[in-house]
Amino acid sequence: MTKVFSGIRPSGKLHLGNYLGAIKNWLALSEAEGIEQAIFAVVDYHGITTPFDPKKYHEQVMDVVLDYLAAGVDPDKALLIRQSKVPQHTELAWIFNTITPVSWLDRLPTYKEQLAKSPKYNHMGLLDYPVLMAADILVYKSNLVPVGEDQMPHIDLTNEIGKKFNSMFGETFEPVKAHMAPGARIMSLKDPLKKMSKTSDEGIALSDSPVEIKKKIMSATTDSGKEVLYDEQKKPGISNLMEIYALLDPKIKNLKQIETMYAGKSYAEFKADLAEVVIETLKPFQMKYNELKADPGHVIEILERSEERARKLSSATLNEVKKKIGLE
Ligand code: AMP
Ligand code: TRP
């Protein structure tokens, strides 16, 4: 039986890259056959391992919750939780800390990259980040984890920790598999060689207004030449926009079709149409987002219901673990 778990850090508003590269994939997974359990978390304890503003943090967490729900996560099919409300994650992480050699952690590329970005944030939490991630996954005995490619070292580590626990205390955890989104890697509108990310204004947030969307797309960096042709190497700007178009408009079957539609037309004409496609796609999302925002009681109720269930599910694993160690 397949049990799905994934998490997203509340480090800013979700953008088109998060939607196409992650959430769309989660939705498909949580509705697929043979899925016994799907849990999506806002990993707010992970979020405090890198610089953040405590005055804005609570709102940021709730904003990601709204984004998830508005993007279509169905609370009847998947649990939607805040990590810090299910203390079993951090409890299991502590136990895992006692069996994880430091040398497994300080060699990880994600740790080195984060440290290079914010050298003052060289604390235990940053080093320990992947152990908490392993606990997030294994505390539910999840076995399928939809994530981007950059998270592969963390999935490998999760398996190493699971194996080590099994060998020390007896068979408990099964292997975990990553599930990658098919091909989606959305690039920044300003610099198409960089990934679209939450921390800059070079992406399209799911909550951007039609005016903002139009402005951002019309001023997106495009390449020299003026034909709408797909060439990732030579024309990364227009190619990225074409990919967004193809992923969002169900009428588009392949990139060739876009080339034919815009043969002899300008970048500006293509961009204006793309802006319309993005605006139309995000309309239902934004309506739902505004509805949810106006009814915070309803959102809290969804979270609390999910979190209560999550505490039950995770306690079962934690109790089994504690027994095996001799804590109970
Ligand atoms: P992050 O925003 O880095 O916390 O990532 C959250 C999820 O969105 C991860 O599964 C990423 O792989 C995915 N993601 C983030 N940025 C992009 C992007 N530009 N294109 C596709 N997927 C992305
Ligand atoms: N580290 C993941 C990221 O940066 C977020 C995350 C935390 C996660 N815990 C998880 C993802 C558990 C999947 C499963 O994207």
| Closest residue by CA, ligand 2 atom 6 | 7
C-beta of 176 in contact with ligand 2 (< 6 A): no
Q: Of 249, 231, 227, 248, nearest to 240 (Cα)?
A: 231
Geometric angle at alpha carbon 33, from 28 and 38, rounded to 5°: 60
Amino acid 64: pLDDT: 94
Among 180-184, 187-191, 220-224, 272-276, the least confident range: 180-184
Q: Is the pLDDT assigned to residue 325 strictly greater than 70?
A: yes
For a pLDDT cut of 90, what percent of the chain falls above it?
83
C-beta of 133 in contact with ligand 2 (< 6 A): yes
The whole-angstrom distance between residue 180's C-alpha and the CA centroid of its chain comes to: 11
Ligand nearest to the CA of 46: 2
What confidence tens digit (pLDDT) does each residue in 26-38 have?
Answer: 888 888 888 999 9
Give the number of other CB atoms < 10 A from CB of residue 193: 10
What confidence tens digit (pLDDT) does each residue in 118-162 have?
Answer: 899 899 999 999 999 999 999 999 999 998 888 999 999 999 999
Q: How far is CA 123 from CA 51, 120, 263, in A?
A: 12, 8, 55
Pocket mutation for ligand 1, best pick of 6, 8, 18, 61 (most atoms within 8 Å of C-beta): 18
Question: How is residue 186 written in tokens?
Answer: 């959305």
Kindly give the distance from the C-alpha atom of residue 321 to the centroid of ligand 1, in angstroms, as a whole number: 32
Kindly give the distance from the C-alpha atom of residue 128 to the centroid of ligand 1, in angstroms, as a whole number: 21
| Closest residue by CA, ligand 1 atom 13 | 18
Amino acid 21: pLDDT: 83
Rounded Cα gap, residues 70 and 288, in angstroms: 5
| Closest residue by CA, ligand 2 atom 3 | 8
